[in-house]
Amino acid sequence: MGDMLWLDKLVQDWWWGLQLLIWGLRGVTRVILANNPLSGLLILAALLWASPWQALLGIVGVLCSTLTAIITGQDRSEVCGGLHGYNGMLVSLLMGVFSSSRDWYWPLLLPVCLGSVTCVLLFSSLSSLLDRWDLPVAVFPFNMTILLFLLCTGPQHPYFPRHWSVPPGARDMNATQLNVLQVLRGIPLGVGQIYACSALGPSLLILGAVLLYSPILAVHALLGSAIGTLAGLSMAVSQSCLYSGLSGFNGALGCMAVGGLFFTFSWRTHLFAISSAFFSAYMDIALSNLLGTVGLPACSWAATIVATLMMLMTGTLKAYRIPIGHVQSPEQNLRSCNQWEAGSPTDRDRESTDV
């Protein structure tokens, strides 16, 4: 269904609260690199299905950060596109997942709100920094904020106790024969893990939401998760990582970013997307082992760094790069690229042969 940009015009004259809802729903989908309010509704439903408390935290996060962006006078079109919502949502979800308090522990809303505000601040600063290379801010603000929060607290913290992350390379105490079925089940779970969701049903619903937005993206998500699982197997990570989908979600994100979203889809970018998935997955294992020594998770650092590096690459891949301001859904990217080529065929050809 694509980006549904026609909705923005329609909404322009609506009540302010409804506009905020649309912006928020866009923000919800931005987490998984999509941008479509309907997919956002589906994803919210999946989160509610998995855990109502988590869904509430996510909603608070996305609203809080979008409102902060409006108050601090961020660029209007960015706010409308949901760009200021997804980092806040992710921080809130992860705060909930890593908290070792019971569900509905209301004081957690305080760091959730503060964390969402921090994300907006970081987004704004990093965009000035990364603008020089026409790079997206991506989920850097989320990754920084959640690490800072987790570092402030600890397993015995009096107010906000948290789980201690175990590195994937640690010896499994209760390791048994590898269950192939469980490993395969981890592949769709890897897509759900992007929203820190580890139940099969909601993960499939999230995958469906991506499919609604763009089939190319959905295929790459599954492919990337499978590659991540393969990388995990090759490095003998712990079984719990493989079964829960944790070894797959960085691969999925790395694969989606390169395959069709920030680069025009073709068989070449497809090969680069596969490399990106492998690289993301291996880097995730490395970073998880490193951060695990102090009990921290590696979140989506690996995929974010790899996707950013891919966008900086020179050579063949550069010819397929879409300027950040023109990025739409993979299908629309492909279509606008074809239209452009039809209009001025020589220009593009010359560029790709030059390279």
Provide the binding-site residues for a second copy, judged by CB under 8 A: 69, 72-75, 114, 117-118, 121-122, 124-129, 132-133, 147-149, 151-154, 156-159, 169, 171, 234-236, 275, 278-279, 282-283, 285-287, 289-290, 293-294, 308-310, 312-317, 355
Which residue lies nearer to a second copy by CB, 124 or 165? 124
Tokens encoding 335: 């279509």
**DSSP codes of every residue in 4-22:** -THHHHHHTTS-HHHHHHH
- Per the listing, tokens 């619903």 go with 205
Least separation in angstroms between CB 148 and a second copy: 4
For tokens 């063949």, what's the residue?
316
**What span, in angstroms and rounded, lies between the C-alpha atoms of 248 and 252?**
6
User: Which of residues 73 and 325 has its CB atom nearest to a second copy in the complex?
Assistant: 73
Residue with Cβ nearer a second copy (240 or 328): 240
* CB of residue 95 to a second copy, shortest distance in Å: 14
Closest distance to a second copy from the beta carbon of 218 (Å):
26
Q: Which is nearer to a second copy, 323 or 343 (CB)?
A: 323
CA–CA distances in Å: residue 33 to residues 30, 192, 231, 315, 319: 5, 13, 22, 25, 21
Q: Residue 128 CB, nearest distance to a second copy (Å)?
A: 4
DSSP-based three-state secondary structure for 163: coil
Q: How many CB atoms lie within 10 A of CB 233?
A: 13
Q: How many CB atoms lie within 10 A of CB 235?
A: 15
> From the CB of 71, what's the least distance to a second copy, in Å?
8
As a whole number of Å, the CA-based R_g of the chain is: 20
Say which residue the tokens 């991540």 belong to: 228
- Identify which of residues 94 and 212 has a Cβ nearer to a second copy in the complex: 94
CB of 332 to a second copy, least distance (A): 26
Tell me whether residue 10 or residue 148 sits nearer to a second copy (CB atom): 148
- Of the two residues 38 and 313, which places its CB atom closer to a second copy in the complex? 313
Residues 6+ apart with CB under 8 A from 104: 53
SS3 246: coil
Closest approach, Cβ 78 to a second copy, in A, equals: 9
Would you say 262 and 307 are in contact if contact means Cβ atoms under 8 Å apart? yes
Distance of alpha carbon 190 from alpha carbon 196, whole angstroms: 9
Q: For residue 281, what are the contacts with CB-CB under 8 A and spacing of at least 6?
A: 227, 228, 230, 231, 232, 247, 248, 250, 251, 254, 302
CB-nearer residue toward a second copy: 151 or 184 = 151
CB of 243 to a second copy, least distance (A): 18
